[in-house]
Amino acid sequence: MRRDLTGKRAILTGASGGIGRAIAAGLVKAGARVALAGRNADALNQLATDLRATGGNALVVPTDVTKPEDRQQLVDRAVEAFGGLDLLVNNAGIGSHGHFATSTPEIMRQVMEVNFFAPIELTRAAMPDLMNGYQPAVVNLTSMCGRKGMPAWPEYSASKFALVGMSEAWRGEFARFGVDVITLVPGLTNSGFGNHLLRTDGRVEIRFHEGMKPDELAAGVVAAIERNRREVVFGGEARRLLRFNKFFPRLTNWLIARKVKQAYAKA
């Protein structure tokens, strides 16, 4: 099936910056009407102004995705404005770059709240409307860390693995409602992600500036939605690492462990 985004009614979380902002532009360019969600209302309003200037249809709904009342309001306002719902793009996320031995239960819970419980519960709130949508889909932005747990990203990896697992289970469950589930697995992307980390003392170096451009990733995201792909890995490095891990898992783990040991020895 090819999904025509013209006139589609979408909710996009994490629209205020980084990858989400680029996805919003891509969806609107493809003809979708988009409810933009995030906590930063000024950034959302500026984005909506920019999108409307190109003839796009965008609605601003300031939302903290960890709050149940905000999630329900987001769904209600989108449905009221657009007359229904066809797409839910769960993109909002946070990370923490630090090692488990020195981390805290609070960081674990905060990462899980934003990256796992929020998209799960937003999807629960949106399902009654999605089930009545046209070519409806839930789109989950996970991560390469959701297919291979990475050192210095323990909480993040766990949260993204959980989202990947839920997406796979949903795919089987939601088929009877005609709702597709699309799992997106990006590698390193040069967004604002590195500036919003809960911790930044991981000893494994991470070079966001060498990552994909958000616009480049967003073009792939829109194409994946239009082509109704089941799962897509984005970024050459992510694809290479996941393939290498698939065929040589023991060697991959040994190389990763050696890198961490060397990082600690150097420090």
Residue 124 touching ligand NAP (CB under 6 A) = no
The question of whether 156 is a catalytic residue gets the answer yes
x/- mask, ligand NAP, residues 29-68, rule CB under 6 A, reads: ---------xxx--x-------------------xxxx--
In this structure, what token pair is assigned to residue 155? Answer: 């909480």
| Marked catalytic residue, from 82, 156, 161, 234 | 156
In DSSP terms, 9 is beta-bridged to 33
Number of residues that bind ligand NAP (CB under 6 A): 30
Contact status: 191 vs ligand NAP (CB under 6 A): yes
Handedness of CA 29, 39, 82, 10 (dihedral sign): positive
Q: Binding residue for ligand NAP (CB under 6 A) from 193, 202, 220, 222?
A: 193
Give 24-88 as a DSSP string.
HHHHHHTT-EEEEEES-HHHHHHHHHHHHHTT-EEEEEE--TT-HHHHHHHHHHHHHHHSS--EE
In this chain, which stretch among 16-24, 103-111, 219-227, 257-265 interacts with ligand NAP, using CB under 6 A? 16-24
Should residue 17 be labelled a site residue for ligand NAP when binding is judged by CB under 6 A?
Answer: yes
Distance between start and end Cα atoms, the chain: 53
Candidate ranges 12-20, 73-81, 218-226, 243-251; the one touching ligand NAP (CB under 6 A): 12-20
157 binds ligand NAP (CB under 6 A): no
Q: Which residues are catalytic?
A: 156
